[in-house]
Structure 1
């Protein structure tokens, strides 16, 4: 019985860790998360790449300026993160619903 409780505790900790890691990466309700092929440092190059990816995914979108997008009639704010994927720093694009 004690071994079962320890196993259940370890499983709970791992599940909680996975949840917070996913939340930190931007995978929460309403967000649009993308990983693009290139790393962009200039917004003038980054915005067209985001729009191209959204169009490729079949979404109607346009850039409003000031890091804001309108996708399928809803407004989003661009948040970018650098996350380790396979021990390689990767730029991740997160469009969060505007509040």
Structure 2
């Protein structure tokens, strides 16, 4: 019984971590070398990075992008990697 409980808790923690980090089907994750404190600069960096990857990007305002004619919502996460805070950009697909 105890082993099953440990397995279930471990699987739930792994699923939560994956959800928080943006590892879902269709999600786009971008980790930048620098940290952006102004939203406008962060959005411009996202557009530039995705255009360098060959994607067609339009910012629609209010944290919404249109990437290759599909809508995405912008999520920012600050995570600690080895004690150093890292800014992760997650673009979550918006289901129609």
TM range (shorter): 0.7 to 0.9
Establish whether residue 25 from structure 1 lines up as the match of residue 28 from structure 2: no
- Could you tell me which residue of structure 1 aligns to residue 30 of structure 2? 34
Count, aligned residues = 95
Establish whether residue 67 from structure 1 lines up as the match of residue 63 from structure 2: yes
Q: Which has the larger radius of gyration?
A: 1
Counterpart secondary structure, 1:39: coil
Which consecutive residues of structure 2, in runs of 5 or more, have no partner in the other structure? none
Taking only aligned residues, the RMSD between alpha carbons, in angstroms, comes to: 2.1
Q: Deviations over 1:40-89 (max 9, x none)?
A: 11111111100111112221111111111110110111110101122211
State the alpha-carbon separation in 2 of the partners of residues 33 and 60 from structure 1.
16
Counterpart secondary structure, 2:87: strand
TM-score, normalised by the number of residues in structure 2: 0.81
- Could you tell me which residue of structure 1 aligns to residue 42 of structure 2? 46
State the alpha-carbon separation in 1 of the partners of residues 34 and 72 from structure 2.
22
State the alpha-carbon separation in 2 of the partners of residues 58 and 17 from structure 1.
35
